[in-house]
Chain A
Amino acid sequence: MTNLAVSPPQKVERSENEILTGLQQTVSASRLTLFLQCRLKFYYRYVLKLPKPKPASLHVGNVVHATLKAWHKARWIGTPLTLKGLHDEFSKAWDDQNKEEPVDWQGEEEDERLTAWRLCELYYRQSGFEHAEKPDAVEVPVETDLSSHGLPRLIGVLDLVQQRKIIDYKTSSTTPNSEKVAHTHEVQTSIYAILFREAASIREEGIELHHLVKLKNPKLCITQLPPMTDSQQNRLFHLLEAYLEGIDRKDFVPSPGMGCASCEFFNECRHWN
């Protein structure tokens, strides 16, 4: 990534049109996925930026990512963490996240904390990474300019690249359906493949989705996907075009459906017309 200043930038209020222009210039997997899922939700989150309390699940996901990052970094520099070391990293990440943006736990913090730790411990024991196997990258920000295709700049952060395999870990409350996962995550995996190819000047060996499932007995589900195909890249480019055109038209209609059950903008949406 090249455009971040060392000193924190001054916060400048931007007009809606400026925000929309920015959203057309730079796209991430989560932005595009949300736009395709529900344009109104996208509008509330990225354009109006309506403030919402941080949900516990986000805190858990952040802490798990931070802990796994510390573990992979330690493996990389040849000082692998013991389980105790991993727990220290976990505790630090939990406190840091609490300081960064507190959650209203409503008395559930200890339960959530235990759930999060069990996911980290499970991953440590079951993911099968050899301590001696060096990663190619750990939580690395990458970007690529697709303007030669008339498309925006793509940005993203790769959780882990190991022997040319792009690995993305997720926390989830339900077991993913391995048949459907390739389809439901195709936007993200295609974007990551493009980003990796551009940044490393080689083709990925494959893509793996590592779902850490928050069950009573937590589970790790690894979905292995082949490298992105040309037709997947075409599909992604069409979706990016639709995204640009939709923003141009200010097309922010709601998409009522199953996803509404967990939508943080449900109340605002009920007043939309």
Chain B
Amino acid sequence: MAVRLSANYSKKLGLPQYSSHSFSASVEVELTDLNQVESECQKLYQLLQQSVDQEIQQVGFVPDPKQYGQKGSSSGLRNGFHRNGNNQNGRQFRVHNGSQDRWACTDGQRGFILRITNENNLDKQEIEALAHRLYGLGVKHLNKMQASQLIEELLTLAGKPRQSRWHQQPQQQAA
């Protein structure tokens, strides 16, 4: 009896401006015997990972944030954060409605992250790198707890850390 083994490897990487790109490759092989499964898996995993890693380094088209989304109706900017037309040295975010811009955290957290970033001229690539460093995820993929942690870090970066929070139980200090 022929045994079919199919393997798939995919990788998603964050890009500047909170966008990302991903690539996946799959392969199907026929084995003559079940004993080959383990070694074949190992081989295929290595092969697929190498191939995907090699290709994913080509980031391809990345839109210029200053141009992208400028044309067309203004409704595309409904969720965007503007600060009186001041483009913040080209660091202004443009967030569009659409599934590629869906964030895992709450809308409020998303707005807060964008606002701290814009108001304090923080570097978005550094913030993306920070999210990766803390959680191995892009900013958009952080859950609510992770986004809250990122907000704490951004406030510290902006020189506005929140006050300590153990002011309420003098007998036994609790957070």
| Interface residue ranges, A against B (CB under 8 Å) | 1-4, 6, 28-31, 33-34, 45, 55, 57-58, 60-62, 64-66, 76-77, 97, 100, 136-142, 156-159, 161, 168-172, 188, 196, 198-201, 259, 262, 264
Contacts and interface: CB of A to CB of B under 8 A. Distances in A.
Given A137-B146, A200-B145, A188 B151 contact: no
Nearest to B149: A140
Nearest to B167: A58
B84 to A, nearest CB: 15
Contacts, number: 107
Contacts of B155: 6
B58 to A, nearest CB: 29
B53 interface: no
Contacts of A58: 166-167, 170, 173
Interface stretch (B12-20, B85-93, B111-119): B111-119
A4 B162 contact: yes
B158 to A, nearest CB: 7
Given A58-B167, A200-B143, A6 B175 contact: no
A34 B164 contact: no
15 contacts: A1-B148, A30-B168, A31-B168, A57-B173, A58-B166, A136-B145, A139-B152, A157-B165, A157-B175, A159-B175, A199-B143, A199-B148, A200-B144, A200-B145, A264-B170
B143 A201 contact: yes
Contacts of B143: 199-201
A6 B158 contact: yes
B175 A168 contact: yes
| B116, B162, B169 pick with most chain A CB within 10 angstroms | B169
Contact of B144 (A97, A198, A262): A198
A264 B165 CA distance: 19
A142 B148 contact: yes
A60 B13 CA distance: 44
A49 B171 CA distance: 18
Given A76-B134, A201-B143, A61 B106 contact: no
A171 B145 contact: no
Contacts of B174: 29-30, 168, 170, 188
Contacts of A55: 170
B153 to A, nearest CB: 9
Given A6-B158, A171-B173, A188-B174, A137 B145 contact: yes
Q: Which 10 A-B pairs have the closest CB atoms?
A: A61-B173, A2-B108, A199-B145, A30-B168, A199-B144, A200-B145, A140-B149, A58-B170, A55-B170, A157-B175
Contacts of A33: 169
B49 interface: no
B164 A140 contact: no
Given A170-B172, A262-B171, A140 B166 contact: no
Given A60-B173, A158-B145, A200-B146, 8 more contacts: A2-B109, A2-B111, A6-B119, A6-B120, A45-B168, A136-B145, A139-B152, A156-B175
Nearest to A171: B173
Contacts of B66: none
Interface string B115-156: 110011000000000000110000000011110110110010
Task: Indicate the member of A1, A30, A55, A100 with the most B CB atoms within 10 Å.
Answer: A1
Contacts of B162: 4, 141
B21 interface: no
B109 A140 contact: no
B11 interface: no
Contacts of B164: 62, 65-66, 97, 100
Contacts of B146: 137, 200
B160 interface: yes
